[in-house]
């Protein structure tokens, strides 16, 4: 019996090592097959990937949601580039950007973004565009460095009080999901199971996501989402969400939001784990954010889910255009 247990354990161990090796080799193959579409720049010994299009001021800076990369904006960036310069980038651990050993909190991410912008010689003031979790980062940027921010567009963003103001059932569901993402996701990532889910377009947090991408970049998007470092970074950012919310909440209490052109977009259709009740509460919280600036406007994308930049890119493009035009009018 002991010999049988030992042999079974050995077989399981060999299979486990084999799957880990296969995932590592598949990740390496993906990175060789798909080359960066933008530029790599070294900041503090690590490579960061960013993509710039267009010319003119102010420069639009995009910060994606959890797990998002510059690919999320391929329907938006070329159109915005027709009237101003726009930068998208991959946060540390996503896309072609190297992993970071630092906690993935809002304060750390704002610090890293400013380092990237200085190294790339992208001068302020900026129009910041934050999507989902990226909205926390954009707002903290504005609280801490108001002189560098000329305008802002928030795309169905997270709110620091979204858990406090939502139903207990939804909050508990999200807490269980966060625990799953933090502890289980890295494991299924290392053994290649997450790669399988990606290939079938069945991500646990975004079913059907890849169908929203242009067909030309779906293979690239799937390769990026399948990488081990992507999965580890996703888990790290999920673990830091509550800390990031607290950092933004404290900044909002202590500092004033700049009086800048501001458009806040809310999704109009529930998707993922969002119910109609939760959706309406989030829309109310978004209206609260619009009130932070005297020039704030709140709009609801009636026919769009959470990823408005993919479901209704024209609305996001128009919002950015309106803010850019207002900024230019103020500077003349």
Average pLDDT for 233-256: 93
Predicted pLDDT at 182? 64
pTM equals 0.85
Tokens representing 284 are 């109310």
pLDDT in tens, 74-105: 999 999 999 999 999 999 999 899 988 899 99
Report the pLDDT value the prediction gives residue 3, as an integer from 0 to 100: 43
179-224: pLDDT as tens digits: 666 666 666 656 667 777 777 676 666 667 778 888 888 888 888 8
Percent pLDDT > 70 in the chain is 77
Higher-confidence residue of 189 and 290: namely 290
Secondary structure (H, E, C), 242-283: HHHHHHHHHHHHHCCCCCCCEEEEEECCCCCCCCHHHHHHHH
Q: What is the pLDDT of residue 79?
A: 98
For the chain, give the mean pLDDT. 84
Could you count the other beta carbons within 10 Å of the beta carbon of residue 269?
Answer: 15
Look up residue 175 and give its DSSP letter: H
Which structure tokens are listed for 227? 């990488």
User: Under 8 Å CB-to-CB from 21, ≥6 apart: which residues?
Assistant: none
Least confident of 56-60, 148-152, 273-277: 273-277
Domain residue ranges in the chain: 34-331
Quick one: pLDDT band at residue 292, thresholds 50, 70, 90? very high
Q: Does residue 114 or residue 169 have the better pLDDT? A: 114
Which residues, including other chains, have CB under 8 Å from residue 188's CB and lie 6 or more apart?
194, 197, 231
Residue 7 scores a pLDDT above 50: no
Residue 224 pLDDT: 83
Q: Is the pLDDT of residue 64 over 50?
A: yes
269 versus 22: which is more confidently predicted?
269
Task: Judge whether residue 29 has pLDDT over 50.
Answer: yes
Which homologous superfamily is 34-331 in? Alpha/Beta hydrolase fold, catalytic domain (3.40.50.1820)
Instruction: Give 66 or 325, the one with higher predicted confidence.
Output: 325
Percent of the chain with pLDDT over 90: 54
pLDDT digits (tens, 9 = 90+) for 125-139: 999 999 999 999 999
Residue 125 DSSP label: P
DSSP character string of 281-330: HHHHHHHHHHTTSTTEEEEEETT--S-HHHH-HHHHHHHHHHHHHHHHHH
What's the confidence (pLDDT) of residue 82?
A: 98
């Amino acid at each position: 019996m002991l010999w049988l247990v030992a042999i079974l354990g050995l077989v399981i161990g060999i299979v486990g090592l084999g799957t880990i090796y296969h995932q590592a080799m598949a990740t390496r193959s993906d990175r060789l097959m798909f080359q960066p579409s933008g530029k790599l720049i070294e900041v503090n010994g690590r490579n960061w990937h960013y993509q710039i299009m267009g010319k003119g001021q102010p420069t639009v800076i995009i910060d994606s949601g959890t797990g998002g990369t510059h690919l999320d904006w391929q329907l938006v960036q070329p159109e915005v580039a027709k009237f101003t310069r726009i930068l998208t980038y991959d946060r540390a651990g996503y896309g072609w950007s190297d992993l970071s050993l630092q906690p993935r909190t809002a304060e750390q991410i704002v610090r890293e973004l400013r380092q990237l912008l200085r190294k790339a010689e992208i001068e302020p003031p900026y129009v910041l565009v934050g999507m989902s979790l990226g909205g926390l980062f954009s707002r903290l940027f504005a609280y801490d460095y108001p002189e560098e921010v000329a305008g802002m567009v928030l795309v169905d963003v997270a709110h620091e009080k979204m858990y406090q103001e939502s139903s207990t059932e939804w909050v508990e569901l999200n807490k269980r999901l966060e625990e799953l993402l933090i502890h289980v996701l890295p494991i299924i990532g290392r053994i290649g199971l997450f790669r399988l889910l990606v290939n079938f377009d069945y991500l646990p947090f975004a079913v059907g996501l890849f169908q929203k991408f242009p067909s030309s970049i779906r293979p690239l998007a799937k390769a990026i989402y399948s990488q081990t470092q992507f999965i580890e970074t996703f888990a790290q950012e999920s673990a830091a969400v509550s800390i990031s919310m607290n950092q933004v909440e404290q900044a909002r209490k202590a500092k004033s939001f700049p009086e800048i052109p501001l458009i806040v977009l809310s999704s109009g259709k529930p998707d993922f784990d969002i119910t109609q009740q939760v959706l309406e509460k989030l829309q109310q919280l978004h209206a609260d954010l619009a009130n932070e600036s005297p020039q704030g406007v709140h709009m609801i994308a009636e026919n769009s889910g959470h990823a408005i930049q993919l479901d209704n890119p024209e609305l996001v493009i128009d919002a950015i255009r309106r803010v850019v035009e207002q900024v230019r009018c103020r500077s003349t």
